[in-house]
C-alpha cells in the first residue's frame, strides 16, 4: 500500500479520524494525501462571472490556509514527517471530488470521519461517507467520532454470500494481513429466506477450503432480522472493525447495501471498512 487519501472538513470528527489515518499510514508504510474540498461560494444571482471567479479564488486561498493549519496540528499529534504528507485543495462537491481525487492519485485506501446521521433529514439525504463508499474504486475506512485509536486486531466481515465471496474475502485479507488482524466472516440470513441452506453450506465449504491456511473463521447464523442479528453478534464478538463489501451489479445485493450498510454507517459505533466486490 502506497497512498492513503484523507479528506477533511477541519471538524472535530475530522481531527479524530486523522489520527486513525496516521496509525494506518504507519502500519502500511504509506504516504498521506490530505484533501479539503471547498464548495461553491454563496454569491448574489446578479453577480458577474468575474466576481464569481474572484469569490472562488478567495475561497481557495482561505481553504489552503486552513488546510496548512490543520496539517501542522495533525503532524504535531501524529509525529508524521512532512515528507510523507501531501496537501491538496479541490473545488466542487465533496463526495464527487473525493472519489475523483482518489482515482487520479491512484489511492490504495480512503480514510474519512463521519458523525453518522443525527436526524431524519440527515438519514434521507445520506452522508458524504455513504456516497464515497458506493463510488470509490479503493477500500474506504469510515471512522466515527470518539472510537478508540487502537490497532485493529479483530475484523468482522458481514458477508451476504452474493456474487464472488472468494475474491471479496481475499481482498479483505490483503487489507487485514499488514495490520496483523484476525478475520471472521459471518453470514446472517433471515429464517424466511427460501432455499438458502444448501447454498450457504456450499459457500462456507468453498471459503474454508480456499482459506484453510489463513487466520480466518467462517460462520452462519439464522436470525429474524439481519440488522438486529448483526448488532447482537457485534456485541458478542466485539470486533475492532466491521467490514462489508459493496456491490455494483445485482439489484438484490444493492438492497443489502442500502439497508444494512447504511444503518451501520449512520449509527457509527465502530470503524467500518467497505470495499468493492
- Residues 12-30 have a mean pLDDT of 93
Q: Is residue 126 domain-shared with residue 207, that is, in the same domain?
A: no
pTM for the whole structure = 0.84
CATH of the domain at 70: 3.40.50.620
**Segment 59-115, tens digit of pLDDT:** 788 899 999 999 999 999 999 999 999 999 998 888 999 999 999 999 999 999 886
C-alpha torsion 153→105→74→122, nearest 10: -80
Is residue 48's pLDDT more than 80?
no
Is residue 46's pLDDT more than 90?
no
Range of 205's domain?
154-276
- 268 vs 231, higher pLDDT: 231
Q: Pick from 119, 144, 169: which residue ends a domain? A: 144
Total structural domains within the chain? 2
Q: Pick from 144, 165, 185: which residue ends a domain? A: 144
- Residue 104 inside a domain? The answer is yes
Q: Is residue 167 domain-shared with residue 94, that is, in the same domain?
A: no
H/E element, 221: strand 216-223
Q: Is residue 257 domain-shared with residue 161, that is, in the same domain?
A: yes
Separation of alpha carbons 78 and 65, rounded Å: 20
Model confidence at 43, pLDDT cuts 50, 70, 90, reads low
In the beta sheet, which residues pair with residue 154? Answer: 182
Biggest CA-to-CA distance, the chain: 67
Q: Pick from 144, 174, 195: which residue ends a domain? A: 144
**Segment 237-259, tens digit of pLDDT:** 899 999 988 876 543 344 445 55
Q: How far is CA 197 from the centre of its chain?
A: 31
Helices (H), the chain: 12-28, 49-78, 94-104, 120-125, 128-135, 165-176, 197-210, 226-237, 251-256, 262-267
- Residue 149 inside a domain? The answer is no
Separation of alpha carbons 191 and 225, rounded Å: 8
Confidence (pLDDT) at 49: 58
Please state, in angstroms and as integers, the Cα–Cα distance from residue 12 to each residue in 17, 142, 187, following that order: 9, 15, 35
Amino acid at each position: 500500500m502506497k497512498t492513503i487519501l484523507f479528506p477533511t472538513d477541519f471538524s472535530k470528527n475530522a481531527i479524530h479520524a486523522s489520527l486513525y489515518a496516521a496509525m494506518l499510514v504507519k502500519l502500511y508504510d504509506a504516504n498521506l494525501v490530505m484533501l479539503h474540498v471547498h464548495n461553491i461560494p454563496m454569491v448574489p444571482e446578479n453577480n458577474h462571472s468575474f466576481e464569481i471567479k474572484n469569490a472562488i479564488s478567495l475561497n481557495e486561498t482561505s481553504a489552503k490556509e486552513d488546510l496548512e493549519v490543520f496539517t501542522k496540528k495533525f503532524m504535531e499529534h501524529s509525529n508524521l514527517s512532512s515528507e510523507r504528507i501531501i496537501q491538496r485543495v479541490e473545488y466542487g462537491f465533496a463526495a464527487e471530488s473525493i472519489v475523483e481525487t482518489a482515482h487520479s492519485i491512484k489511492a490504495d485506501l480512503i480514510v474519512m470521519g463521519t458523525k453518522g446521521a443525527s436526524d431524519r433529514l440527515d438519514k434521507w439525504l445520506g452522508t458524504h461517507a455513504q456516497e464515497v463508499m458506493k463510488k470509490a474504486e479503493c477500500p474506504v475506512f469510515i471512522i466515527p467520532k470518539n472510537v478508540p485509536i487502537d490497532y485493529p486486531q479483530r475484523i468482522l466481515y458481514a458477508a451476504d454470500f452474493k456474487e464472488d465471496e472468494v475474491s471479496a474475502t481475499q481482498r479483505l485479507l490483503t487489507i487485514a494481513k499488514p495490520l496483523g488482524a484476525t478475520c471472521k466472516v459471518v453470514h446472517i440470513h433471515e429464517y424466511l429466506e427460501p432455499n438458502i441452506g444448501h447454498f450457504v453450506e456450499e459457500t462456507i465449504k468453498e471459503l474454508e477450503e480456499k482459506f484453510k491456511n489463513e487466520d480466518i473463521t467462517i460462520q452462519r447464523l439464522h436470525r429474524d432480522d439481519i440488522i438486529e442479528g448483526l448488532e447482537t453478534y457485534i456485541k458478542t464478538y466485539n470486533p475492532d472493525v466491521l467490514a462489508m463489501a459493496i456491490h455494483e451489479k445485482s439489484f438484490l445485493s444493492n438492497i443489502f447495501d442500502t439497508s444494512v450498510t447504511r444503518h451501520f454507517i449512520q449509527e457509527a459505533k465502530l470503524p467500518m471498512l467497505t470495499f468493492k466486490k
